[in-house]
Structure 1
Amino acid sequence: MTGAQTAAAEDFASERRRMMEDIAALVRETRDEIGKRAFDERVMAAMAGVPRHEFVPADQRPYAYQNRPLPIGHGQTISQPYIVALMTDLARVEPGHKVLEVGTGSGYQAAVMAHLARAVYTIEIIEPLGLQATQRLQRLGYDNVQVRLGDGYHGWEEHAPYDVILVTAAASHIPPPLIRQLKAGGRMVIPVGASFLIQQLMLVEKNLDGTVSTRQILPVAFVPLTGKH
């Protein structure tokens, strides 16, 4: 590694530490809404372990560890780190779990989940983003992530049922195919609401008898879920 590369790596390391401090501070600020004062240590370790600068375009790298969403092309964004951590924490992923993600984007959320779950299946409807994410995740060694190009509204029946489902784009309603593919006892985290307006981040729990309960967590702003639904 050259001197310049070493300096860049050290800069990213210090910026990543500041990102983690920002996340921890926001958890404390939102503790009344989310019902806790700190995220699970495994979630924080996963967030600290993923190089966010690898998941943004080159011109966005100087801002990679700021606690805000960033554009990744094609009208899409990489989510704010706090929101990624919150959704991951709400999911309560265990090492043996199988996770479905709807909306791969740059692959960042899938990479975080890959640190926590046995397998991550992620779907992206925008082909260039899906292909880039596939190459990026492979290059970075996330071997337990599979990317599929397609309409995530309908889930990925082949690998169902899932212990956890994450939807990283706003839907006008909770897609019935995703509820069907969620395992009894499983959890889904999804933003629900109108496109480009304030939505509600929802926690959806499928009870052991197959009934579903939902809880609003806090207001969020996500790009809309696209597809033919």
Structure 2
Amino acid sequence: MIDFATRRTMMVDTQVRPSDVTKFPIIDAMLTVQRENFVPAAQREAAYMGENLNLGDGRVVLEPRTLAKMLDVLDISNDELVIDVGSAMGYSSAVIAHMAEAVVAVEEDGSMAAEAQEALAEAGIDNVIQHVAPLHEGASQHGPYDVMIVQGGVQQLPASLQDQIKDGGRVACLFMEGALGEVRIGYKRGDSISWRMAFNAGAPVLPGFAKAAVFEF
């Protein structure tokens, strides 16, 4: 029998806290949410590894350190509405639900979204709205959002998603340049977003988030 509770504590003590993430709501959420219940059954044993968990088709569950540091710089408060783009089986949404007023979890894979709904219900988390749609479309009918977070690599943030962030809102994206990536935090002012670099990380670029190829003659 695997002692997941001990692994969860080790994850926080060896991956999250050493990355200078000390905000109580994040630590508390990551100690509370049973990550093993939000990954494919065959990968439960690897749930607490310090690396991205491969879901296939270029999709991953971001490593705990990356998610924790993104949440740290976003500094979500309990009166905010958050859109979680690429929520997969719901781990990130479950963690964010502990610190936000409500979360809209956008996932284009219907079977993963259904599993997320089940896991969230079993965990007693009732402030997550599951929305099945192409990731690059988001969920404009529930917005605009105070905070947006994207669970995977991007080369560009589609305009359709930028439009769903409130004026004065913020967004965390992992921008990939080849094999190297950096998480940037964007601040929406009017129709534009100003970005600042936060830290380095890596993940596959999500479908719909690659730059369009430019042909040169």
Q: How does the TM-score come out when normalised to structure 2? A: 0.87
Q: Considering only aligned residues, what root-mean-square deviation do their CA atoms show, in Å? A: 2.1
| 1:121 CA drift (Å) | 0.3
The count of residues paired between Structure 1 and Structure 2 equals 210
Would you say the 8 A contact 1:39–1:86 is kept in 2? no
CA offsets per residue over residues 2-51 of structure 1, 9 Å max, x none? xx6xxx4xx21211111111124541xxxxxxxxx443111111111110
* Higher strand proportion: 2
> What is the match of residue 197 of structure 1?
179
Residue 84 of structure 1: aligned partner: 67
The Cα shift of 1:73 comes to 4.5
Distance between the aligned counterparts of 1:204 and 1:97, measured in 2?
Answer: 16
SS at match of 1:170: strand
Runs of 4+ in 1 over 6 A off after TM superposition: none
Question: Gapped runs of 5+ residues in structure 1?
Answer: 28-36
User: SS where residue 68 of structure 1 aligns?
Assistant: coil
Partner of 1:33: none
Task: Indicate which of 54, 68, 73 corresponds to 1:71.
Answer: 54
User: After superposition, what is the alpha-carbon deviation per residue over 1:167-199, rounded to whole angstroms, capped at 9, x for unaligned?
Assistant: 1122221222222211122110011235x6222
1:216 to 197, 209, 212: 197
Deviation at 1:217, TM superposition (A): 1.8
What letter corresponds to residue 101 of structure 1 in structure 2? D
Q: What displacement does 1:58 show?
A: 2.5
Quick one: which amino acid aligns to residue 23 of structure 1?
Q
- How many angstroms apart in 2 are the aligned matches of 1:228 and 1:93? 24
8 Å CA contact 2:61, 2:151 repeated in 1: no
Deviations 1:141-177 (A, max 9, x none): 2211111111121221111111100011222212222
**Greater RCO, 1 or 2 (C-alpha within 8 Å, sep 6+):** 2
